[in-house]
């Protein structure tokens, strides 16, 4: 049996991440920072990596992230959303994972009918050039 996720040293997220274990580890975690329509709780923050749990309550438009900035990834924990990547729309639900392509502006639209928010892990990681 795999060990529980330790928030003192959280693992990187990927398409095989276990949302049940993440939700168990995040029990009781509340936002401690707020942007416009986005509440977050940072789990890990270094020059190389930013990992946070985020509660998105309204649509969010993001500029393109370039290879020399960071790779952005999402893992949906609760709710549903559509991520508009310009040339395609990716619908995500709990367990859904998405790496945002470099140089791609993107819009995240909350589609959750029941609670009108999406709870997700957002990872921004510098990659080797």
**pLDDT tens column, 24-38:** 999 999 998 887 778
Taking Cα atoms as reference points, which of 72, 79, 116 lies closest to residue 96? 79
Domains of the chain in start order, with CATH, are 19-125 (2.60.120.10)
Indicate the pTM of the whole model: 0.91
Cα–Cα distance measured from residue 95 to residue 14, given in angstroms and rounded to the nearest whole number = 10
- Residue 37 pLDDT: 73
Residue 89 has pLDDT above 90, yes or no: yes
- Residue 78 pLDDT: 94
State the pLDDT confidence band at 115, using cuts at 50, 70 and 90: low
Phi, psi of 21 (to 5 degrees): -65, -40
């Amino acid at each position: 049996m795999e060990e529980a996720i330790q928030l003192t040293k959280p693992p990187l997220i990927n398409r095989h991440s276990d949302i049940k274990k993440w939700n168990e580890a995040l029990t009781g975690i509340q936002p401690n920072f707020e942007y416009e329509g986005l509440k977050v709780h940072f789990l890990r923050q270094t020059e190389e990596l930013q990992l946070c749990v985020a509660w998105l309550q309204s649509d969010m438009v993001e500029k393109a992230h370039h290879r020399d900035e960071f790779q952005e990834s999402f893992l949906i924990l609760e709710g549903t959303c559509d991520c508009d990547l310009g040339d395609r729309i990716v619908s995500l639900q709990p367990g859904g994972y998405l790496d945002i392509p470099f140089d791609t502006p993107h819009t995240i639209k909350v589609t959750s009918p029941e609670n009108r928010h999406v709870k997700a892990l957002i990872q921004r990681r510098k990659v080797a050039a």
